[in-house]
Amino acid sequence: MVKSSVIALGGNAITREGEDGSITTQFRNTRTCLESVVKLIELGRNIVFVHGNGPQIGADLRRVEEARNVVPTIPLGVLVADSQGGMGYMIAQTLKNKLLERKIEKDVCTIITQVLCDENDPSLQNPTKFIGEFLTKQEAYEAENFKGWIVKEDPGRGYRRVVPSPKPLKIIESRVIELLIKNDVMVIAGGGGGIPVYYDANGKLEGIDGVVDKDLTASLLASQINAQELIFLTGVNKLFLNFRQENQKQLDVVTLSEAKKYLALGHFPKGSMGPKIEAAIKFLENGGERAIISSVENVKDGVFKDAGTKIIRD
């Protein structure tokens, strides 16, 4: 039986800190990211990609605000849909080209994905999702007082804009995604965490202005399509306790109960590894076989060898 893996790829891997964020640069980074991932497809994995959009959606929202006196504004939920299309195009084209280089005949498809959320989710009143570029303390003050942004400190990294981030409850298009996978199609879905929506009093879908965490969406999607594996690609190759402290400890294998304990003890902050560990826990509790945290470069060895950190059921 061919294994299905859901890969969560951060938007920061495509628009990196300190770069100009141009489409040319984003394409170059996408090609670099997928070079190692495509090796999993060569080795027989069915892959579903879920990408983040934190830097990209911040730039998109800023464009809208800067041009508000010239053209009509675009709601945040629709901007998420726009980023799904644009980033999905980059990933799909890059992946297709890399498959062609290896003479692998597979179709690739990007799905504009809606994610059901609670219209009364607490995050709508208390924004928590970091987006956009990093700011100095002075820039953060000016953004709050002159632009009306809500800004919070991203511990150890600087200040960033935050927007509402409701928790995902259901992937609306999960049956379509599963059908594509069963027909050997490589799928990009849930981009930017998906477009947050809710059912109104008449049972019809309506949009929510927010950005869903892509790791939580990846976990939910993996469970809904019965994927065996959930892979988080990050800037580090292993999980650590007491990260960047003198007593830091590398973790090669973590059980579900250990992951819960370490999360509760605060080893994995909300602004970095926290959402990934929370998503891994949910995936395993819903029947997934294992979650893997790995760097982009070492993803093949993270899956088939000893690189990366494996999170498994007890």
Instruction: For residue range 129-143, list pLDDT tens digits in order.
Output: 888 888 899 999 998
| Whole-structure pTM value | 0.90
Predicted confidence at residue 147, as pLDDT, reads 85
Helices (H), the chain: 23-42, 54-66, 76-101, 137-146, 174-182, 214-224, 256-264, 274-285, 299-304
Structural domains present in the chain: 4-54+77-117+168-202+209-312 (3.40.1160.10)
Predicted confidence at residue 24, as pLDDT, reads 94
Strand, coil or helix: what is 189? coil
Task: Name the percent of the chain in helix, strand, coil, to the closest 5.
Answer: 40, 25, 35
Whether the CB-CB separation of 310 and 256 falls below 8 Å is answered with no
Q: What is the pLDDT of residues 9-62, one digit of tens each?
A: 988 888 887 888 899 999 998 998 898 889 888 888 889 999 999 889 888 988
Q: Which residues are catalytic?
A: 11-12, 129, 214, 276
Rounded average pLDDT over 73-102: 95
Predicted confidence at residue 4, as pLDDT, reads 86
What is the pLDDT confidence band of residue 1, given thresholds at 50, 70 and 90?
low
